[in-house]
Amino acid sequence: MKTSVSNPFRFGALALDDAFADRERETAELAADMRNGQDVVVFAPRRYGKSSLVWAATRAVVAEKTLVATIDLMTTPTKERLAAALASAVYQQIASPLERVRERALAPFRGLRVEPVVTVDPETGELSFSFSIARGEGDIDVTIERLLELPAELGAGRGRRTVLVIDEFQEIVEIDPNLPKLLRAAFQRQPEVSHVYLGSRRHVMQRIFNDANEPFWRSAKPIELGPIDPGPFAAFISERFAGSEREVAEETVARLIELTGGHPYATQELSYFLWEETGPGELASVEHLDLALTAVLRSENAHFSLLWEGASGVQKLLLQALAREPGRPYTNAYRNRHQLPPTATLQTALRALERREAIGRSAAGYRIAEPFFAAWLGRQEHQFGGVDA
């Protein structure tokens, strides 16, 4: 008999409210930084819940009347698009809540070096902004600089704390290599505003904030997100099952977390499929978990196939070796065990795979970054004697 209870686990989109597992310490820390006007950069591998963390912290400070504006640089390939995103964020999330009269809310945007075209959606009444190509060289830079000043001015004028969240921040260097200098100069004059930086390309973010030659060098407090501890995650999984007409055995939860290593996305994903494999009133067993893992690998097959097809021959050998045995590929013993090429060739492959974030590095050595990619590689090799077969 089918149940009307919905699956309590979420992956792919933001993990919101009760679906957000643990991270209480990191959420409280980030919320405190936002209140204090501290600039923060959140470092984490892909699918570690950066956006969900920022959403949770933002919700906490907004409840205290802090003003938070958010822009996503992945949607702003030009400086004109960046200016439009800034103007929209400032109007909708800063100026509009403070100035309920539309004409007063639009006042800060008049007199910009490049004035925006403001369009009203006839159905919703919402405003959107666009900027034409500037006539004079540097006009759009002056406009962006002025827009970056508005959150601080508008918030300070009403005695409200202000936060600017910039997602996919690594794209700033793709829009214009000179933009980091412009942004850094503007933000240095805003000690009362918290700037929060997120990015999905970790190696680029590391260079922006950790390279002494970059304008943003040591300009923001780093928050590093790691795996979630087994204890809180185990309790989270058990509680979510118990609240949805199913139970899960302790050994099943322990095995699930062992498979994912506490990786937030992977744990939510495998828990989702485990719940689907478990009928109403049933106890989720290790046998259910095996079926769930097979379903996950089937679901991720296209993604993993693209990762594999984009790898060179040496990179494929290295990926297979790390799937069998995480460790130190540079050592003679490891290379001999897995029939790998000389160290100089491996260094090039390792750097390339790190840039693609297919592998990660820690004090223990190298490993496959995504838990299920290692399982996928293992099953393919076992089934076909090699993934290409």
- In total, how many domains does the chain have? 3
pLDDT over threshold 80, residue 100:
no
Residue 218 shares a structural domain with residue 138: yes
Lowest mean pLDDT among 174-178, 229-233, 325-329: 229-233
pLDDT class of 106 with cuts at 50, 70, 90:
confident
The confidence score (pLDDT) of residue 110 equals 86
Contact between residue 11 and residue 272 where contact means Cβ atoms under 8 Å apart: yes
Does residue 27 form part of some domain? yes
Residue 107 pLDDT: 87
The pLDDT of residue 1 is 40
Model pLDDT, residue 389? 40
Q: Is residue 141 part of a domain?
A: yes
Range of the domain at 373: 302-384
Q: Which CATH number fits the domain that encloses residue 342?
A: 1.10.10.10
Please tell me which residue, 225 or 311, carries the higher pLDDT value.
Answer: 311
Is residue 5 in some structural domain? no
pLDDT at residue 132 in the model: 86
What CATH number has the domain bearing residue 77? 3.40.50.300
Residue at 45 is within a domain: yes
Which of 205, 224, 243 represents a domain boundary (last residue)?
224
Residue-wise pLDDT for 130-167, tens only, equals 998 867 778 999 999 999 999 999 999 889 999 999 99
Structure confidence at residue 49 (pLDDT): 83
Segment 256-262 shows an average pLDDT of 93
79 shares a domain with 31: yes
In a shared domain, residues 255 and 315: no
Same domain, yes or no: 57 and 200: yes
Could you list the beta-strand ranges (E) of the chain: 40-43, 67-72, 117-120, 127-130, 162-167, 193-197, 221-224, 247-248, 283-284, 359-362, 365-368
- On whether residue 7 sits in a domain, the answer given is no
Q: Within 13 Å and on the Cβ side, how many CA atoms surround 99?
A: 16
216 found inside a domain = yes
Q: What is the mean pLDDT of the chain?
A: 90
- 188 and 329 share a domain? no
Quote the CA–CA distance of 68 and 53 in Å, as a whole number.
15
Question: Any idea what the CATH number is for the domain that residue 291 is in?
Answer: 1.10.8
Give the pLDDT confidence score for residue 385 in this predicted structure: 54
Shared-domain flag, residues 220 and 175: yes
Q: What is the pLDDT of residue 287?
A: 97
- C-alpha to C-alpha distance for 349 and 326, rounded to whole angstroms: 15
Q: Is residue 128 part of a domain?
A: yes
Which of 280, 299, 318 marks a domain boundary?
Answer: 299
Sign of CA pseudo-dihedral 227, 230, 234, 236? negative
Using pLDDT thresholds of 50, 70 and 90, give the confidence band for residue 115.
confident
208 and 87 both lie in a single domain = yes
The per-residue pLDDT for range 170-212, each reduced to its tens digit, is 999 999 999 999 999 999 999 999 999 998 888 889 999 999 9
In a shared domain, residues 41 and 138: yes
Query: Hunting for tokens 């490891």 — which residue is that?
Result: 334
The answer to whether residue 2 sits within a structural domain is no
Highest mean pLDDT of the ranges 28-37, 47-56, 121-130: 28-37
pLDDT beyond 70 at 382 = no
**Residue where a domain terminates, one of 189, 224, 259:** 224
